[in-house]
Amino acid sequence: MIEHSLETMFFLKPKKVVDRIQSKGVEPMRDNDIIDYREEKEPDGRVAVTLLYVLSFFAPILAPLLIWLLLKRESDFVDFHGKQYFNFFLSYTIYSLIGSILIFVVIGFIILPIVWLLGIIFTIVAAVKSYYGEYYVIPLSIQFFKP
């Protein structure tokens, strides 16, 4: 009794599935209907852009530059984020230089860790947002390269 009720609750019998398909006018796939999954590529370069941000922790100039230069013509998404990364990189380099100069006035000891922490946080946020396909502009970045 229990086996029968579980079977009817969780599993459909093959005849019921066929009847349901035929009653709704759905034609089952034939053997000659081939689905080609080879052309199903990542359409917008999300993984490449995510790698651009993640690899920037290990090679801050070379890895993002290579990814951007190699893939910017294939995807507007990669081009946008490549420009955003280098806007971010140049801006935060300038902020770090200003903080380094201000160390002599003692305020640099406060500014530098804040700039570095924001740089790490915004890079991680940009990597996550780019993985989900969002066009993200990193805060406090000077727009040297227009998107």
Query: Does residue 31 form part of some domain?
Result: no
pLDDT digits (tens, 9 = 90+) for 47-103: 999 999 999 999 999 999 999 999 999 999 999 999 999 999 999 999 999 999 998
Is residue 127 within 8 A of residue 54, CB to CB? The reply is yes
What value does the mean pLDDT of the chain take? 82
DSSP state of 138: P
Which one is predicted more confidently, 109 or 83?
83
Helix 46-55 vs helix 108-131: angle between axes, to the nearest 10 degrees?
Answer: 160
Query: Does residue 98 form part of some domain?
Result: yes
Query: Does residue 28 form part of some domain?
Result: no
Q: Which domain holds residue 73?
A: 46-131
Reported as a pLDDT band with limits 50, 70 and 90, residue 8 is low
Reported as a pLDDT band with limits 50, 70 and 90, residue 104 is confident
The number of domains in the chain is: 1
Q: What is the 3-state secondary structure (H, E, C) of 3-40?
A: HHHHHHHHCCCHHHHHHHHHHCCCCCCCCCCCCCCCCC
Query: Does residue 73 form part of some domain?
Result: yes
Query: Does residue 116 form part of some domain?
Result: yes
